[in-house]
Amino acid sequence: MSLRNILLAVAALGLIGAGPEPQSGLAVAAADQKAFQAYFHDHFPKLPTADFGNGPYAVNAEMRKQWEEIMQFPPYDFALDEGKTEFETKFANGKSYADCFANGGIGVRQTYPRFDATTGEVVTLDLAINRCREANGEKPLAYQTGMMASITAYMAETSRDKPFDITIPDDPRAIAAYEAGKKYFYTRRGQLNFSCASCHVVAAGQRMRGDILAPAMGILAAFPIYRSDWGSMGTIDRRFTSCSSQMRSEPLKPQDSAYRNLEYFLSYMSNGVPITGPGTRP
Amino acid sequence: MKRLFLVATLLAFSTAAHAATSADAQAALASAEKVEAQAAGFGNRWVPAEAALKAARDAIAKQNWDEALVQANTARALAQRAVEQSQEQETLWRDAIIR
Task: Give the lowest-confidence range in A57-66, A73-82, B13-22, B84-93.
Answer: B13-22
Instruction: Report if residue B10 sits inside a domain.
Output: no
Is the preceding peptide bond at A45 cis, omega within 30 degrees of 0?
A: no
User: Which of A248, A265, A268, A270 has the highest number of chain B CBs within 10 A, making it the mutation to test binding with B?
Assistant: A248
Q: Which CA distances in Å does A31 have to A122, A204, A216, B56, B99?
A: 21, 21, 17, 49, 8
Which domains, ranges and CATH numbers included, belong to chain A?
25-282 (1.10.760.10)
Q: What is the DSSP letter of A214?
A: P
Active site residue A243: yes
Residue A19: pLDDT over 80: no
DSSP per residue over B31-88, as a string?
Answer: HHHHHHHHHHHTT--BHHHHHHHHHHHHHHHTT-HHHHHHHHHHHHHHHHHHHHHHHH
Q: Which residues of A96-126 are buried (b: 16+ CB within 10 A; e: fewer)?
A: bbeebbeeebebbbbbbbbbbeeeebbbbbb
In this predicted structure, the answer to whether residue A13 has a pLDDT above a threshold of 90 is no
**Are the C-beta atoms of A74 and A280 separated by less than 8 Å?**
yes
Query: Is A135 at the interface with chain B, CB within 8 A?
Result: no
* CA angle (A131, A78, A162) in 5-degree steps: 60
pLDDT grade for A261, boundaries at 50, 70 and 90: very high
Instruction: Average the pLDDT over each of A2-11, A19-28, B20-29 and give the range with the smallest value.
Output: A2-11
User: H-type helices in chain A, by residue range?
Assistant: 3-18, 25-43, 56-59, 61-70, 77-88, 125-135, 147-157, 172-186, 196-197, 236-246, 257-269
Nearest beta carbon to residue B46 from set A183, A191, A201: A191
Q: Cα-flanking dihedrals φ and ψ of residue A210, to 5°?
A: -90, -5
B94 pLDDT higher than 80:
yes
CB contact under 8 A, A191 and B97: no
How far is the C-alpha of B33 from the C-alpha of B14, rounded, in Å?
30
Do the strands A279-281 and A225-227 form a parallel or antiparallel pair, or are they unpaired? parallel
Q: Is the pLDDT assigned to residue A235 strictly greater than 60? A: yes
Q: Look at chain A and count its residues.
A: 282
Mean pLDDT of A257-275: 98
Chain B touched by A108 (CB under 8 Å) = no
Indicate the range of A63-77, A106-120, B1-15 predicted with least confidence. B1-15
The chain B residues in contact with chain A (CB within 8 A) are: 43-48, 50, 78, 82, 85-86, 89, 92-94, 96-99
Q: B50 contacts in A (CB within 8 Å)?
A: 250
Nearest CA to B49 among B84, B91, B19?
B84
Provide the 8-state DSSP code for A194.
B
For chain A, the average pLDDT equals: 93
Confidence (pLDDT) at A74: 97
Distance CA A213, CA A190 (A): 19
- Mean pLDDT throughout A208-233? 95
Asked if pLDDT for residue A177 goes beyond 70, the answer is yes
For residue A194, what are the β-bridge partners?
A: A189
Query: Does residue B65 fall inside a structural domain?
Result: yes
Q: What is the dihedral of CA A163, A96, A143, A124, to 10 degrees?
A: 40
Q: Does A186 touch chain B (CB under 8 A)?
A: yes
A35 touches B at CB < 8 Å = yes
Average pLDDT over residues B19-38: 97
Q: Which positions in chain A touch B97 (Cβ < 8 Å)?
A: 32, 182, 186
HSE-CB at A63 with a 13 A cutoff on CA atoms is 18
Residues B45/B82, Cβ–Cβ less than 8 Å: yes
Indicate whether B12 belongs to any domain: no
- Among B44, B97, B99, whose Cβ lies nearest the Cβ of A249? B44
DSSP string, A22-81: PPPHHHHHHHHHHHHHHHHHHHSTT--GGGGGGTHHHH-HHHHHHHHHHTTS-TTHHHHH
A261 contact residues in B (CB cutoff 8 A): none
Beta bridge pairs of residue A211:
A208
With CA atoms as reference, the chain A residue closest to B42 would be A189
Helix axes B22-41, B65-92, angle to 10 degrees: 20
Interchain CB contact of A197 with B (< 8 Å) = yes
Query: Looking at A130-139, A272-281, B7-16, B52-61, which range is the least confident one?
Result: B7-16
A272: nearest Cα among A215, A205, A218: A218
Q: How far apart are CA A140 and CA B46, in angstroms?
A: 29
Domain count, chain B: 1
Provide the ipTM.
Answer: 0.85
Q: Do the Cβ atoms of A254 and A97 come closer than 8 Å?
A: no
- Please determine, for residue B14, whether its predicted confidence score (pLDDT) is greater than 60: no
- E strand or H helix that includes residue A232: strand A232-234
Chain centroid to Cα A72, Å, comes to 27
Closest-CA residue of chain A to B90:
A187
Residue A226, beta-bridge partner list? A233, A280
The domain in which residue B25 lies consists of 20-96
How far is the C-alpha of A122 from the C-alpha of A114, rounded, in Å? 6
Query: pLDDT grade, residue B4 (50/70/90)?
Result: low
